[in-house]
C-alpha cells in the first residue's frame, strides 16, 4: 500500500480482541467524517502491525502528503485530543 497522496492520512491500528478499540474505533470513524482533508485508513491485520512496529493498540499515526510520520500515539483519544493530534 502506498501512502503517497495529496492529503494527510490517519492510520488507525487495531485488533479485534482489543476492548478499548471497540469503542475508540467507531468514535474515531465518526469524528473523522467531519475532517474531509484527512483520509482515515484502518489496519487490523497482524502483518501490518508488525511491519509498522506497532506494539500496542489502539495506535494512531498521522502521515503527511509524502507518507512521512508526523505524529503517533498509542491509546484512546478524546475529540479535543484528536483535534490537537491532527493539528501538527
Question: Across residues 57-79, what is the average pLDDT?
Answer: 96
Give me the number of domains the chain comprises.
1
User: Residue 6: what pLDDT?
Assistant: 83
Q: Is residue 70 part of a domain?
A: yes
User: Residue 1: what pLDDT?
Assistant: 61
pLDDT tens digit sequence for 5-55:
789 999 999 999 999 999 999 999 999 999 999 999 999 999 999 999 999
Q: Is residue 1 part of a domain?
A: no
User: Residue 19: what pLDDT?
Assistant: 96
Q: Is residue 81 part of a domain?
A: yes
Q: Is residue 22 part of a domain?
A: yes
- Please count the other Cβ atoms lying within 10 Å of the Cβ belonging to residue 33: 8
Name the residue range of residue 67's domain: 8-86
Distance CA 24, CA 83 (A): 15
Question: Across residues 68-87, what is the average pLDDT?
Answer: 96
Q: Is residue 2 part of a domain?
A: no
Q: Is residue 36 part of a domain?
A: yes
Q: Write the CATH number for 15.
A: 3.40.30.10
Instruction: Answer whether residue 2 shows pLDDT above 80.
Output: no
Q: Is residue 30 part of a domain?
A: yes
Q: Is residue 3 part of a domain?
A: no
Amino acid at each position: 500500500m502506498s501512502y503517497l497522496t495529496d492529503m494527510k492520512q490517519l492510520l488507525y491500528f487495531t485488533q479485534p480482541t482489543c476492548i478499548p478499540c471497540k469503542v475508540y474505533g467507531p468514535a474515531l470513524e465518526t469524528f473523522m467524517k467531519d475532517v474531509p482533508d484527512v483520509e482515515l485508513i484502518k489496519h487490523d491485520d497482524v502483518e501490518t502491525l508488525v511491519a509498522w512496529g506497532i506494539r500496542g493498540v489502539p495506535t494512531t499515526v498521522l502521515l503527511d502528503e509524502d507518507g512521512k510520520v508526523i505524529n503517533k500515539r498509542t491509546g484512546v483519544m478524546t475529540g479535543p485530543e484528536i483535534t490537537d493530534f491532527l493539528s501538527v
